[in-house]
Amino acid sequence: FNDPASNLGLEDIIRKALMGNLEERQE
Amino acid sequence: SRMYLVCPMNMSPQVDPHKSGQDVWEEFSHSFTPAVREVVEFAKKIPGFRELSQHDQVSLLKAGTFEVLVVRFASLFHVKERSVTFLGGQKYSVDALRTMGSGDLLSSMFDFCEKLMNLGLSEEEMSLFMAVVLVSADRSGIENVNSVEALQETLIRALRSLITRNHPNESAIFTKLLLKLPDLRSLNNMHSEQLLAFKVH
């Protein structure tokens, strides 16, 4: 409840977008 | 009873009753992911944001993405005709959304969007305001509060000077904008509660 962003999977989307998607870059 | 997802970041409020909760959630997540990525790309362009620690960049985005999206997509809420356009392009009246179970959050979103749109901000002013919304030193989990605070102050100064330059006879606009920040927090809290309720059900 205290971390709705993590529950939503938002954190994962944010981290990937921040770091750049490695897989996409390799393609 | 049928389930509806009355968030405009969804393609449509209708939920296929044959789909599992997990599938509904994944489909919803799929529809809002591009908007979230856009917020991250926007954040990366804020001068000084990338110099914050990685931890603080993530914390600010986790806490503030919903608020930035509200500002970014305020134009999806059509105040005069009392309708909302969903990401799928279809418009739904407030009354129809009410019968689908929308409550106080939708009314509060309308109030907020009406007041924001009435300020008549330019795209540049709106962008700078979104940067101020995102870079807030009082979000939970910030490890280097001083750095975030310094960036926040720089952004607020830039916003003030832009607004003053563009609206020399409307000095109240800047104050009104800053007063939108607690309104956004309150919307964010209401939204989190609804998400919890959705996940629980």
pLDDT one-digit tens code per residue, B82-131: 999 998 899 999 999 988 888 889 989 999 999 999 999 999 999 999 99
Measured in degrees and rounded to the nearest 5, phi and psi for residue B83 equal: -140, 165
Tokens describing residue B140: 């939970």
pLDDT value of position B54: 95
A4 touches chain B (CB under 8 A): yes
- Are B36 and A7 in contact (CB < 8 Å)? no
Which of B42, B52, B73, B70 has its CA nearest to residue B137?
B52
- Are B65 and A10 in contact (CB < 8 Å)? yes
B196 touches chain A (CB under 8 A): yes
Which of B48, B35, B3, B64 has its CA nearest to residue B144?
B48
- The most confident of the ranges A18-27, B73-82, B146-155 is B146-155
Q: Taking residues B152-175, report their average pLDDT.
A: 95
How big is chain A, counted in residues? 27
- Are A4 and B63 in contact (CB < 8 Å)? no
Q: In this prediction, does ipTM exceed 0.95?
A: no
Residues B56, B62, B68, B72: what is their CA dihedral angle, to the nearest 10 degrees? 120
Band of pLDDT at residue A23, cut at 50, 70 and 90: very low
Q: Is B150 exposed, middle or buried (0-12, 13-18, 19+ CB in 10 A)?
A: middle
B63 touches chain A (CB under 8 A): yes
A12 touches chain B (CB under 8 A): no
Contacts of B36 in chain A (CB under 8 A): 10, 13-14, 17
Of the candidates B58, B192, B199, the beta carbon closest to that of A18 is on: B58
Query: Each residue of B8-63: pLDDT tens digit?
Result: 888 888 888 888 878 888 888 888 999 999 999 999 999 999 999 999 999 999 99
B36 touches chain A (CB under 8 A): yes
Can you list the alpha helix ranges (DSSP code H) found in chain B?
21-44, 54-72, 94-99, 104-118, 123-134, 145-166, 172-178, 180-200
Query: Each residue of B70-79: pLDDT tens digit?
Result: 999 998 999 8
